[in-house]
Structure 1
């Protein structure tokens, strides 16, 4: 069962979370009960196909063993080599899950949420190597990896922030605010996903007229699909964030009015923020620092542009190996590199002055560029 997809799921989740809210309003928390709730809901999520449940359990054991072994032996002489091996081993299940279907082979290791748990696992290994994580129990690792509100599609939390919330029980007054905000987020999710998103999908995207491929219908589909994708995913994220707050965990926001972005960099600071920040911190920044250290390329702008290309190419491939996902990633790399070149020229020649008119124009241009990217992402242009 897909999380947050049916009234049945919400009713069971609401009943299970009622004791959590009662304890929270008394300034208390029972982590054992919270873990029991997670187990029950995970079984419910995977109840449609127990093969996925077995794959999930096997994957979890794999990642726990990997991290615990790496945590103990990370300081051996050839640390960089050991780090690379463990990163590849942590990434291996996701790679197989993405690659095998491309060759028309069934993946027996895939399950709902494998990508987001893999991001968490890779993050923990990298943070351990950097010294950010100095100690970690198996219990804390499991709690972070299987936190049910965000398991299928994020938002992607950070271990230190998540663990701090889990270990610090909020006082009564603070929990009242969390509970209020959490319930509010759930209702926002209902509005976004089940009302606005549903109306766009039912009355625009799935209509026979839009199914007919033509320049005019492609144009309408581009905007309808972009809005639908936002409201559907932002609605899901609102559910995840809201339920997290009810459990006393302040899961970070995932969307911040992305369609009013004034440029493509601003867009990626507003759209699926936890994913874009994850790739920025754990792919782009590390690639740039590595290339700068190696001094293979001296021009810092060239290094930065290679980093952007790698970042967005990986983001595209992460969605799948189909051509439209790869083109989508390269398209956004082109946009962000082009904007950086434009910004640098503008600082020198001042041909794009900041005022209300240019701000409005920038928002319109960015919105249309983003919508065209999402049209590429949809695969409609490649049919």
Structure 2
């Protein structure tokens, strides 16, 4: 098996024209079956397994074995908890199940920091698969998810378009799409959208992002490192270039994933919705990496608020939400990696959301006072909207500069600016 996997080419999802050609050819039977109101479950799983093998082929063959181990592990954890949940509902077993589901991800995040090398348990896409599993266990705990079959679970887990980097789907939404095959009219609309998403993804990833990362960012980065110091104008240029590249690269990938999902008859959620037009940080997180931000909102933030209010940790509900914002975003920062700039990025957005929330409350209070004395409310028009977009855009860009890790290189590991 190892020799076979090593002999395979290593095709990263949506990375080359060859990948798209072979993938689209293999999807033809699936599209024809959906056109006639049917599914080809066995064929679909074989296609997923084949392309997963290519994703972990060549020098990455060990990731395939890590993936299989992970899949077996999560199947045991999820179905053990489902069996238990039908009989009882104790907190401690729920927390243990969540911890066991998170354990492989925690190991691959912590091991490099402690031992200085990547974990053998790591593979491309483990974070996004873990989010799916944890969400399922939480929904089983809430009684919203019952009688999951092993085949529907595995189909959800190895769904090819989104396996490596999302978007993060929810089991119930995915399974409903799979069971209810779209009508011909609906499927034609889905195919039309799929073509648009694939074309837009190609523009984002293969043209705009490629141009930025190949021709624009490298000379700016070298100039910024050569200038050195705490901050310089080249670093400001790098901030904008890298921020746009992150968006177009990831949004392009997400467009590909959604487009391929639509061809397979699954309406995978959109991941980005014009995030740089957000008028405040809360609006930004409703537009940026939406499947991730909504996951943290539903399964971390809301549960933190509920728990703290139930136990009356803070008397003031605004204090409760502020603490929840900070913990939620800091946890998101830690999820990206155990480096100071990821954690600082999370704290930055946590504090930003607290300020955002404070301003919204303050504005309502001021408008209420002005109304009582017969004055007009504070201005809320296209100019204030534009100002909000301008401020939010630059706050986000500063946060992305922190997230990029470039400041770590500039401040602590910059060999170019050191005297010779």
Q: Within the alignment, does 1:109 sit opposite 2:121 as a pair?
A: yes
Q: Within the alignment, does 1:141 sit opposite 2:149 as a pair?
A: no
Kindly tell me: are residues 213 and 312 of structure 1, through their superposed partners in 2, closer, same or farther at Cα, counting changes over 3 Å?
A: farther
> Aligned partners of 1:342 and 1:298: how far apart in 2?
20
Match of 1:266 in 2: 283
Match of 1:182 in 2: 194
Aligned length: 383
From 177, 192, 195, the equivalent of 2:204 is 192
> Aligned partners of 1:127 and 1:213: how far apart in 2?
52
> Aligned partners of 1:187 and 1:69: how far apart in 2?
43
Match of 2:223 in 1: 209
**Secondary structure of 1:354 counterpart:** coil
From 41, 44, 51, the equivalent of 1:41 is 51
Structure 1: which 4+ aligned runs deviate by more than 6 Å? Answer: none
- Aligned-residue offset at 1:306: 1.0
Q: Within the alignment, does 1:62 sit opposite 2:73 as a pair?
A: yes
- Aligned-residue offset at 1:213: 4.3
- Aligned-residue offset at 1:316: 0.6
Deviates more, 1:33-42 or 1:364-373: 33-42
> Aligned partners of 1:176 and 1:355: how far apart in 2?
40
**Secondary structure of 1:212 counterpart:** helix
- Aligned-residue offset at 1:78: 5.9
Cα contact 2:125–2:163 (8 A) shared by 1: yes
Match of 1:14 in 2: 24
Match of 1:83 in 2: 94
From 139, 142, 145, the equivalent of 1:130 is 142
- Aligned-residue offset at 1:353: 2.1
> Aligned partners of 2:287 and 2:254: how far apart in 1?
13
Gaps of 5+ in 2: 1-10, 368-376, 410-420
- Aligned-residue offset at 1:180: 1.7
Q: Within the alignment, does 1:357 sit opposite 2:368 as a pair?
A: no
Deviates more, 1:20-29 or 1:234-243: 20-29
Gaps of 5+ in 1: none
Cα contact 2:329–2:347 (8 A) shared by 1: yes
**Secondary structure of 2:332 counterpart:** helix
Cα contact 1:74–1:82 (8 A) shared by 2: no
> Aligned partners of 2:135 and 2:303: how far apart in 1?
12
Kindly tell me: are residues 78 and 25 of structure 1, through their superposed partners in 2, closer, same or farther at Cα, counting changes over 3 Å?
A: closer
From 388, 396, 407, the equivalent of 1:370 is 396
Q: Within the alignment, does 1:315 sit opposite 2:326 as a pair?
A: no
Cα contact 1:244–1:250 (8 A) shared by 2: yes
**TM-score, normalising length from structure 2?**
0.89
Kindly tell me: are residues 239 and 77 of structure 1, through their superposed partners in 2, closer, same or farther at Cα, counting changes over 3 Å?
A: closer
Cα contact 2:174–2:266 (8 A) shared by 1: yes
Cα contact 1:204–1:210 (8 A) shared by 2: no
> Aligned partners of 2:361 and 2:55: how far apart in 1?
49
Match of 2:166 in 1: 154
Cα contact 2:89–2:141 (8 A) shared by 1: no
- Aligned-residue offset at 1:23: 2.1
